[in-house]
Amino acid sequence: METLDWSQCPLVEVIPGKVSGAPLLKDTRLPVEAITGNYDAFRDEGLSPDAALAETLDCYPEAGLDAIRSILEYRAAHQLQAQP
């Protein structure tokens, strides 16, 4: 699995000791991996990008549509820079 550097994403924070230092949606305890993982699982089930986004929002309404969309866009833009 590749590790993505979330340090430049303004919606993400990493705080040592908070949820084991995982990248989190800022001011929450919601791991970014939960958002991206759910979206990917819905896509793997055959849902369209819009439907997968809607289902992810249903799972994490506290995140908000704009934040989920921005996290997915950041990941897409930075995946090529990720290192194994």
Contact predicate 25/67, CB 8 Å: yes
Count of domains observed in the chain: 1
What is the domain-level CATH number for residue 29?
Answer: 1.10.10
pLDDT exceeds cutoff 80 at 23: yes
Does residue 7 fall inside a structural domain? no
pLDDT exceeds cutoff 60 at 2: no
Does residue 1 fall inside a structural domain? no
Domain that holds residue 48: 12-79
Q: Which long-range contacts (CB under 8 A, 24 or more apart) does 28-36 make?
A: 28/62, 28/63, 30/60, 30/62, 30/63, 32/6, 32/71, 34/60, 35/60, 35/63, 35/68, 35/71, 35/72, 36/71, 36/72, 36/75
Does residue 61 fall inside a structural domain? yes
Which pLDDT tens digit goes with each residue over 34-83?
999 999 999 999 999 999 999 999 999 999 999 999 999 999 999 866 55
No. of H helices and E strands in the chain?
Answer: 3, 2
Does residue 6 fall inside a structural domain? no
